[in-house]
Amino acid sequence: MPAPSLPFTRERRALFLQALAATGNVRAACERVGVSRPTVYDWRRRDAAFARGWEAAIVSAREEAEGELADRAMNGWAETVWYRGQPVGTRRRFNAKLLLTHLGRLDKMHAQMQGAPTPDDALEVLGDISAGEV
C-alpha cells in the first residue's frame, strides 16, 4: 500500500519550484519533493502564481540545460555496454546532430553580438598570448 501523500503546502510548492529550476525536469522535481505529477499539474492549472513560478523555474533551468548540451556535444557521454544481462564495459557515445545544434546556437549568439570577434581574431589573440604579448 503506498504511503499517504503529504499536503502540497506553500513550502513544498517552493521546494518543487527550486527542484524544477535545478533540473528542468518535472518528473525529477516531483520525485525530489515527494509529490505526484498530477498534483503539480493541477496546481499549475489552478494557481496563477504557482504557474508563473513554474515558468520562471523552467527558464532558469535553461542555463543548466545549455551547459549539459554543450558538454555532451563536445565530450559525448558514457554508456554501459551489456552482454547477457551483465555490464561488461563502457563506451563513449557521440551524436553529430547534438553537436550541430550546439554549433548553430553558438553561431546565432555570435551573430547577435555587436563587434563580435571572428574565429581569425580569436586565433590572433591566442597567438599573442602564446608569444607573451598580452
DSSP per position, 66-108: HHHHHHHHHH-EEEEEEETTEEEEEEEE--HHHHHHHHHHHHH
**101 in a structural domain:** no
Positions of the chain with pLDDT lower than 50, given as ranges:
1-4
Give the per-residue pLDDT at 121: 60
Instruction: Tell me the per-residue pLDDT of 14-24, one tens digit each, with 9 for 90 and over.
Output: 999 999 988 88
**131 in a structural domain:** no
Give the per-residue pLDDT at 115: 64
**133 in a structural domain:** no
Round the CA-based radius of gyration of the chain to a whole number and report it.
Answer: 22
3-state secondary structure of 27: helix
Domain count, the chain: 1
Range of the domain at 57: 10-94
**15 in a structural domain:** yes
**134 in a structural domain:** no
**18 in a structural domain:** yes
Give the per-residue pLDDT at 33: 93
